[in-house]
Amino acid sequence: MNTQEFLTVLAEHQGKPLLFEYAPNLLVGANYHITEVKHLTIDSVDCGAQTDSWKETIIQLWESPDELGKTEYMSAYKALAILKKVGTMKTYTLDAEVKFEYGNATFHTAQLFVNDFEIRNNNLIIKLAVEKTDCKAKELCGVPEPSETNAESSCAPGSGCC
């Protein structure tokens, strides 16, 4: 989901509590805060010596230890107001992918992408997921796509790649 799509979802569901599902059936606590919004430009070189660049919007979620036991979630309206204020200070790249940075005592800090969203019990639930690393130069390096019979393929040492 890109930044514009996320802002639109928030705008369409402003009256609903905003929940984040960081793993199947696991929700970020109601004590979360939006603590940082990052506007990133990534300039990269992959293992096949190919360059690439793209932009991302990273929204950091943090659970306040002072608000443990809180049961009322931030509204989509409040989150949208926070993000709009950020947008007046630092302009968004609206087609940039939006990701969420989150971690807790039982889940390592990670950048999670938006897999989907749903309305459940009048809550707006943003479904997050972990993105696996991958070799971006498979074709260039002659690394076959994984198949049922070749699930172990990767950019392994000695493969002429990675």
- What are the extents of the domains in the chain? 3-131, 134-162
The pTM of this model reads: 0.85
pLDDT at 48 over 50: yes
Q: Could you tell me if 115 and 24 are in contact, meaning their C-beta atoms sit under 8 angstroms apart?
A: no
Task: Give the β-pairing of 97-104 and 107-120.
Answer: antiparallel
CA distance 33 to 20: 12
Whose tokens are 């606590």? That residue is 29
Q: Could you tell me if 112 and 132 are in contact, meaning their C-beta atoms sit under 8 angstroms apart?
A: no
CA distance 69 to 18: 17
What does 31-90 look like in DSSP terms, one character per residue? TEEEEEEEEEEEEEE-TTS-EEEEEEEEEEEEE-GGGTT--PPPBHHHHHHHHHHHHHHS
pLDDT in tens, 72-125: 999 999 999 999 999 999 999 999 999 999 999 999 999 999 999 999 999 999
Residue 31 tokens, joined? 């004590």
Q: Could you tell me if 101 and 130 are in contact, meaning their C-beta atoms sit under 8 angstroms apart?
A: no
Which residue type is seen at 41? Answer: T
What average pLDDT does the chain have? 91
